[in-house]
Amino acid sequence: MLQKFNELTQKEKITIILVIVLSIILYLTAIVIPLTSRIEKAKMKVASLSQTALQIEKGITEYRSLPALVQVKREGSLLSSVEKIASDTSVTKNIGYLKPFSAQKGMEGAEVKLNNISGNDFTLFVHRIQTQQINITKASLKDNDLDGLWNVRLFVEG
C-alpha cells in the first residue's frame, strides 16, 4: 500500500493527506467536542443536584430541630395571616404574589408564590404556617438557575 502511495503524483499525495486531515477535523468537531461538552454539562448538573440534595437534607434537619408545633388559633383572614407570617419570618421580600382561591366548603384558600428563597427561610416559613392551623395542600419547589435559592408555589387552606 505504501508503494502505491509513493507511485502517486505530488498533487494526488497532497489531496489524500488533505482529505485525511479534514476527515479527522470533521470527526473531532462533529463527535468528540460535542460529546465532551455534554459530559461537562452533565457533571455540572450532577454537582448542582447533589448540592440541592444537601440543602434539602439540611432543611429537614433544621425543621426537625425546631420546637414542637403548638397550634395557635389564627386571627383574621387567611391572607392576612400568611402576610403576617411572611413578615415575622422575613420572607416578605420573597413574595411574588399571594392570591385567594376557592377552597373546600367553609375553608379559605390561598396560593403563595415565593421567589429566590433560601432553604432555611422556607423551613421557618413552613413551620410558622403549620402553627397557625393552616394546611399546605400542595407545594412546588424549583431551583431553575441552580443557585440554591428556590422558587416556591404553595397552596394553603385554613
Convert the pLDDT of each residue in 38-71 to its tens digit: 888 888 888 888 887 887 888 778 777 877 766 7
pLDDT of amino acid 6: 76
For residue 5, give the C-alpha cell: 502511495
pTM of the model: 0.62
Q: What is the pLDDT of residues 29-38, one digit of tens each?
A: 888 778 788 8
Whole-angstrom distance, CA of residue 97 vs CA of residue 13: 71
pLDDT of residue 145: 80
- What is the reported pLDDT for 69? 65
Residue ranges in the chain modelled with pLDDT below 70: 1, 69-70
Q: How many Å apart are CA 107 and CA 98, to the nearest integer?
A: 16
CA distance 126 to 154: 10
Distances (CA, A) of 25 to 14, 21, 32, 36: 16, 6, 10, 15
pLDDT of residue 77: 86
